[in-house]
Structure 1
Amino acid sequence: MPRGAQVTHLSREEVAAADSPVLGRIASLLRPYRRQLVLVCVAVVAGAALTSVIPFLTRAVFDQALFPTDGGPADLGLLGRLVGLMCLIPVVTALISVGQNWLTATIGNSAMADLRSQLFAHLQTMELAFFTATKTGAIQSRLANDVAGVRTVLTDTATTILQNTVTVVAAVVSMVLLSWQLTVLTLVLMPAFIAIQLRVGRRRQKLARRTQESLSEMTAITEESLSVSGILLSKVFGRAESETERYREANREQARLQVAQAMTGRTFFATVQTFFAITPALIYLLAGLMITGSLPGGADALTAGTLVAFTTLQARLQMPLLQLMRVTLDVQTSLALFRRIFEYLDLQPAVVERPGAVALPTVRGEVEMRGVWFRYPEPRSLSGGRTGDRFGDSTVRIDRPDGVAAPVPDDAWALRDVSLRVEPGQLAAIVGPSGSGKTTATYLVPRFYDVTRGAVLIDGHDVRDLTLDTVTGAVGMVTQEPYLFHGTIRDNLAYARPDASAEEIEQAARDANIHDRILSFADGYETVTGERGYRLSGGEKQRLAIARVLLADPRILILDEATSALDTETERLVQQALERARANRTTIAIAHRLSTIHDADVIFGVEDGQVVEQGTHDELLAAGGLYARLYVEQFQSGRGPRRADERRADVSV
């Protein structure tokens, strides 16, 4: 965070002001399913219209068939027809309801799948800096928990609102037609109920956000502590109990918030239900007063059939009204979750393809840096709190007191005025002490980051003017700690080229000195590597990573200390694989052991983010600068030169 910056939590007014555009974006998720929604609307209106007919049939049963108002005998024929209609209508509405529910479930779950896919695809476009500043568990929580939390809104809410609204409107119109006086009594407290509900909704919205933040923290703890690396660290330092207590505290907070969210509004709904429960008694009282003349205008209008039909409607009105209140409350609650999802979708990637970007049909492999200055951007994490800490998941806004970006101090630059050139097919090495900017420089070539000033060029083209496919297809990388996902060896290799044949995969493995080792496993290429490749040794993982790059066949190869932390025999195998990998490719190697770069075409010495020297091995030794100093420290140490396999260098990224 910049010095002098302040962290301001979004206020209630800011959150409320954001509701309208959020609702519009939610509606846009359903836009691809307009035709199905029209069918749902037709089904809802038809069902509500049919249901509203039943009270009038009930009145006809009493006032025309059983107890005719003209004093005549009961009409059994009319009664049979009316009863037949009263039996047929529920059957028809049930069939309509089944079709409506199928359409609703299809639309809602499809929209939710679209949202999840959209969020995942958007996260794939984010720059590397975003992921270094955001907990993996927090990202997983938004993809899983937050999207799951809005499931009801997308699958049921729209239909529920429409259905119950139509039902309520139809019921109220019917009640007014039967008796406007009794209708006024039924709805007299509704404005007060609506006002209270809005207050309850705001409270639920805040609790929903805090609940999801707590759930996100729990997911992050789980991801950190129960991964292979986390379990290994816990066991090494005996922290199992403290990790358990850490999870237990987060779990207790989650339970407390869930209870608070579940209980918010319960008193309100209990009050509403109580009012509806006693309303029939009040209706009977009011009807009695009207029939006896104590209240004007009701003696002739209120028949027994009218009273029965009205109380039937009043009973039917209760459930839709309660459902409308509850679903409106759910919508207000879900808005907090939608905002959390849209926060990620609104993040603009820092590394994007420019309009009119050039796609190179062939890449020669020339790499150049011209006056490159680079500083790491401020973390753009929405995980809240301090970047990388274990607290909070609330949305924050960073405000500078003066609104002006502060000048960048010299020590904030990771690279300063770096210029270098690597010809096609050359082996270039970058050496320097820890933290000098070696890895940072290589990250700029495949556009993991964009330069702050200056330019990185491939074949004379600024990488920012090339299509992303051109850049990613031209540059391959083998890192110090290669990543293998939980799958078979064949799947891990084919990740570089999904269309590669079995023969091509095996040839890449042979070139990487790993084919025979793979065949020694019981399942061969179908051997499961385990999470992050933990079932394999470091050398095996490294050679698989080399095979994967060979399968991709890039013209530019970056080796980031690919032989560090390996035993002598494994290093020999990996070094042989790397020599094959470098053939006919431009190679940029961050050197850990200087013995591996004696034959480099050009060596760049980097210190404090600057290229301080360049030349061949012999030229740099003769110059007596940074490279010579590192060489002496590594191989002589006052006792004469030693072989590279006798001593590991203490030169890291």
Structure 2
Amino acid sequence: MSMHGRGAPPGRALHVRATVGRLAGVMRPDAGKLALVVLMAIGAVGLTVAAPRILGAATDVIFAGVIGRMTPAGVSRDELIAGLRASGQQQQADLLSGMSFVPGQGVDTGRLAGILLTVLALYLVAFLLNWLQARLIAAAVQRAMYTLRRSVQGKLARLPMAHFHDHPRGEVLSRVTNDIDNLAQTLNQTLTQIVVSVLTVLGVLVMMISISPALAVVAVVSVPLSAVITVLVARRSQPQFMAQWNRTGALNAHIEEMFTGHEVVTAFGRQDQAKATFDATNTELYEASRRAQFVSGLIMPLMMFVSNLVYVAVAVVGALQVASGLITIGSVQAFVQYARQFSQPLGQLGGMLNLLQSGLASAERVFELLDAPEQSPDPADPARLPTARGLVAFEDVSFRYRQDTPLIEHLDLRAEPGQTVAVVGPTGAGKTTLVNLLLRFYELDGGRITIDGVDIAAMTRDELRGHFGMVLQDPWVFGGTIRENLAYGAPDAGEDEIVAVARATSVDHVVRSLPDGYDTVLSDDGSALSAGQKQLVTIARAQLADPEILILDEATSSVDTRTEVLIQQAMNRLRAGRTSFVIAHRLSTIRDADLILVLEDGRVVEQGDHEALLAARGHYWELYNAQFTAPAVEEEVSR
């Protein structure tokens, strides 16, 4: 069983600058909208930052009204302050000197209402700008992800088969699905938030300095302290997140394996071992996640602690300045709000650090897939075979999956038009490799393969494969009706053609037994059919496509003996006039083949028909006896 884990992406991008540059390139078509988003963010932040200062003026109006009502009418403000100084009440005089009030007059409700309506209008406009920029950024991000998914899908079609041979299926799927989804989430949450946070810090800093440079210095002290806390916590949390993601991938891989091989696990009674492995991996994931979340969760409490310290310092220093008449109470109130606004975006920036790293790591993994070496391009002036006769020749063909491990060396074989060529041999002899080379799933290291004298490398892959019909050992059906599955290789086939081929391959009686007949909808794993019935469907599909060349790679290995006989009879009729390659371990299925090739270590060690090869008493004779006479020999020995 292979490890096809689909866990979270790694935690840190290795090439941040290059990755960010490529992301910018993906989003370049929406550059105008992104610029508009930035302008809206500037406007929303400016309005939000201005509101506390205006609210401070409202506080001053209220406080001035209270003081004015408490003071005697008939004297001016300056006379009242001078009288207090003359009587030795210096502190009260300093406090009133920083205020604008009219003795004997209460709260100016008209001015207060105007200020409050202004603040309400500011917040409403800021809300509208934030809503519009959220819509624009969501549209831009999803359009970029659409483009990225389309690029990845196109890339998968251009990747050589060797890429999927070297990379587990779950790893490829993780990059196509999990990583792109993670990148979309990261961009949605951080793209505007980073801009807003930075603008908020700058805007609030300007407002604080305009109110009181001394108080601004007190508030700014929190910046390096917050930065140090964020960096220290991020360094400690990063390894924990890496461990968490690795354990998540291992757990997902184990679950996928156990569910995929559930019948095997149950048959061998290994449920307890599978459960023990799950419990151990799940415990490791729990511990890694607990540590990661705990360490990263320290950022916000620590930032709040720093924020509270700043709040206390601002309150103390601000009270002293109010008492000295340097600023008003409303200004202190506004400054306290700014101090809160100043620390909040800093905390948000710290909290987004891990998310941003994860998103960039996902982007890097997607770009790695997009940068993977592609299969060689089709020739600019390709050869065509409008109707192939089916003369297939391997001429001095050499191939190896890995450069240091030879597989096929200097192979020559020839299949005449209309011949049925059977390929047999022990596991690893190179039987399926011949099919992979014939369909150009892999490129040759030496020699050439021709069809009717035309080098297949001179043809486009689509043109080449259009002349083949193929049935694999593992039957594949997709989510759709049985009719759609049968007509997959011949979408224009009529109902009569479909039914005729279904009857010839014994599919029709299977379909007739289902409630909806040919309209029965199969799931993507074809669970409504047995393995043998699915194989019948795939064989019928290949026959309905009516190719010039047939490839049957262990095509009857999943059917019972009776069905195998029916399939063989149908194939004997349909192979007439077609070149057929049959790869088989069950030698009973190839007795009537025109030519049998015996492969061993990538070489044709014998060839001929069934009777001739048995008479030669060579490799084929040994394979035949091992398959058909070994039980009788063992019975004799046991006696």
Residue 384 of structure 2 corresponds to residue 360 of structure 1: yes
Cα pair distance change 1:279/1:355, threshold 3 Å = farther
* Range moving further from structure 2, 200-209 or 568-577: 200-209
What corresponds to 1:43 in structure 2?
A: 40
What corresponds to 1:371 in structure 2?
A: 396
Gaps of 5+ in 1: 1-11, 294-298, 378-406, 640-653
TM-score computed with the length of structure 2 as normaliser: 0.82
Residue 432 of structure 2 corresponds to residue 435 of structure 1: no
**TM superposition shift of 1:157:** 0.8
Residue 343 of structure 2 corresponds to residue 318 of structure 1: yes
* Range moving further from structure 2, 188-197 or 414-423: 188-197
Matches of 2:321 and 2:62, distance apart in 1: 25
What corresponds to 1:651 in structure 2?
A: none
Residue 303 of structure 2 corresponds to residue 272 of structure 1: yes
Matches of 1:19 and 1:543, distance apart in 2: 52
Q: Aligned with 1:588: secondary structure?
A: strand
Q: Does the CA contact (< 8 Å) of 1:431 and 1:590 recur in 2?
A: yes
**TM superposition shift of 1:575:** 0.7
TM-score computed with the length of structure 1 as normaliser: 0.80
Matches of 2:497 and 2:513, distance apart in 1: 19
Cα pair distance change 1:99/1:570, threshold 3 Å = same
Q: Aligned with 2:477: secondary structure?
A: coil
Q: Does the CA contact (< 8 Å) of 2:233 and 2:298 recur in 1?
A: no
Q: Aligned with 1:67: secondary structure?
A: helix
Q: How does 1:203-602 map to 2 (within 5 A)?
A: 203-227=236-260, 230-290=261-321, 300=326, 302-349=327-374, 351-354=375-378, 356=380, 358=382, 360=384, 362-364=386-388, 365-377=390-402, 408=404, 412-485=405-478, 487-498=480-491, 500-529=493-522, 532-564=525-557, 566-594=559-587, 596-602=589-595
**TM superposition shift of 1:444:** 0.9
Matches of 2:506 and 2:13, distance apart in 1: 61
Gaps of 5+ in 2: 1-9, 66-98, 633-639
Deviation string, structure 1 residues 137-178 (Cα, Å, up to 9, x no partner): 444444444444444312121011111222221111111222
**TM superposition shift of 1:231:** 1.2
Q: Aligned with 1:614: secondary structure?
A: strand
Matches of 1:113 and 1:213, distance apart in 2: 28
**Of 20, 28, 31, which residue of structure 2 is paired with 1:31?**
28
Cα pair distance change 1:65/1:501, threshold 3 Å = farther
What corresponds to 2:89 in structure 1?
A: none
What corresponds to 1:648 in structure 2?
A: none
Cα pair distance change 1:200/1:462, threshold 3 Å = farther
What corresponds to 1:60 in structure 2?
A: 57
Matches of 2:559 and 2:354, distance apart in 1: 60
**TM superposition shift of 1:470:** 1.7
Cα pair distance change 1:638/1:319, threshold 3 Å = closer
Cα pair distance change 1:343/1:290, threshold 3 Å = same
Matches of 1:250 and 1:141, distance apart in 2: 20
Percent pairwise identity = 35
**Of 190, 209, 233, which residue of structure 2 is paired with 1:200?**
233
Q: Does the CA contact (< 8 Å) of 1:372 and 1:417 recur in 2?
A: yes
**TM superposition shift of 1:236:** 0.7
Q: How does 1:91-130 map to 2 (within 5 A)?
A: 91-130=124-163
What corresponds to 1:86 in structure 2?
A: 119
Please tell me the residue identity of whatever aligns with 1:287.
G
What corresponds to 1:645 in structure 2?
A: none
What corresponds to 1:396 in structure 2?
A: none
What corresponds to 2:220 in structure 1?
A: 187
Matches of 2:352 and 2:605, distance apart in 1: 67
Q: Does the CA contact (< 8 Å) of 1:66 and 1:79 recur in 2?
A: no
Matches of 2:242 and 2:367, distance apart in 1: 13
Deviation string, structure 1 residues 330-389 (Cα, Å, up to 9, x no partner): 21243344444444343324x343452626262513322221122223xxxxxxxxxxxx
**TM superposition shift of 1:289:** 4.9
Paired residues, number: 586
**TM superposition shift of 1:285:** 2.7
Matches of 1:533 and 1:505, distance apart in 2: 19
Q: Does the CA contact (< 8 Å) of 2:42 and 2:199 recur in 1?
A: yes
Matches of 1:618 and 1:597, distance apart in 2: 11
**TM superposition shift of 1:113:** 4.7
Q: Does the CA contact (< 8 Å) of 1:436 and 1:609 recur in 2?
A: yes
**TM superposition shift of 1:237:** 0.4
Larger Cα Rg: Structure 1 or Structure 2?
Answer: 2
* Range moving further from structure 2, 144-153 or 89-98: 144-153
Cα pair distance change 1:326/1:635, threshold 3 Å = closer
